[in-house]
Amino acid sequence: MMAIDMDYVREVAEKGARLDKRKFDEFRNVEIETNIIKSAEGSAQVRLGNTVVIAGVKMSVGVPFEDRPDEGVLMVGAELTPLADPEFEPGPPDIRSIEVARVVDRTVRESKMIDLKALKIDDKAVWIVNVDLHVMNFDGNLIDAGSLAAVAALATAKIPKYENGKVNYDERFGALPITAMPISVTSVKVNGKLLLDPSKPEENAADARLTVSIKNDGNICSLQKGGIEGFTVEELHKMLQTAGEKQKELRAVFK
């Protein structure tokens, strides 16, 4: 059944169309809701078409990494369960969840979204920022949905009160030291055609994937390729140009 679906997607793409009638360079509808989890320091739910991802931010105090003693710690994790899609299996993180977490982490980290040096408390303690991504429904493009959710959750997060060596989670006072708002834009190559914001069938039929993450100033902060095939120079130029245009549309949703 999967092979038939893939062949059909490829056939439709070759004819210049998509299963959901979108244009090749068109995103699905995007909705962002923040502060949905009261027990979290920051949270957001993103709906990207039928894909739904919730991001939660939890903060704790701990020791810095030995090679970065003057910086706080950022960690991103992703959980994909059968609740979101029958293909996902319970248990330890699989390759797909690890990839989503790493690409979202890279988008946030390479953009310098958070001033990690400002998270240093003293010579022995720093703030540790954990971003947990939970996929509630899966219909493709977890990377962009997860990135949007993580950025929205971090941008609205509040730091809990810390005094006398203890964290008081009942009191939150200041926002995280945000310096940038990165946006990721993902395209796939299906039968020689470049499709933006792939649905689940389009991801399954894709030969290659490219995620472009862009900061507020329009500069690219990270690139991540997936899939077994490559891209031509012309295709790369086209995807970079499209990403630069589409990130402005996605950024407007935050406002």
**Cα 144 vs. chain centroid, distance in angstroms?**
5
Residue 31 lies in a domain: yes
CATH number of the domain at 66, please. Answer: 3.30.230.70
| Domain-embedded: residue 1 | no
Instruction: Look up the pTM and report it.
Output: 0.94
Q: Is residue 10 part of a domain?
A: no
Which pLDDT belongs to residue 4? Answer: 53
Mean pLDDT value of segment 207-236: 96
Q: What is the mean pLDDT of residues 2-15?
A: 83
Q: How confident is the model at residue 5 (pLDDT cuts 50, 70, 90)?
A: confident
CB-based contact 47:54 (threshold 8 Å): no
Residue 6 lies in a domain: no
Cβ–Cβ under 8 Å, residues 9 and 190: yes
> Cβ distance 98 to 105 under 8 Å?
no
Does 148 reside within a domain?
yes
Residue 165 lies in a domain: yes
- pLDDT tens, residue by residue, 74-95: 999 999 999 898 888 887 888 8
Which helix or strand (DSSP H or E) is residue 111 part of?
A: none
Where are any strands of DSSP class E within the chain? 30-34, 42-48, 51-62, 73-79, 126-137, 158-163, 166-175, 183-190, 193-196, 208-214, 220-227
Domains in the chain, number: 1
Tens of pLDDT, residues 148-205:
999 999 999 999 999 888 999 999 889 999 999 999 999 999 999 999 999 999 999 9
- Please report how the helices 95-110 and 142-155 are oriented relative to each other, as an axis angle in degrees rounded to 10: 50
**Rg over CA atoms, the chain:** 19
Residues 6 or more apart in contact with residue 149 via CB below 8 angstroms: 32, 44, 45, 46, 53, 54, 55, 133
So what's the pLDDT on residue 1? 39
Q: Which domain holds residue 117?
A: 18-254
Is 94 inside a domain boundary? yes
* pLDDT (tens digit per residue) in 128-152: 999 999 999 999 999 999 999 999 9
Domain membership of residue 9 (yes or no) is no
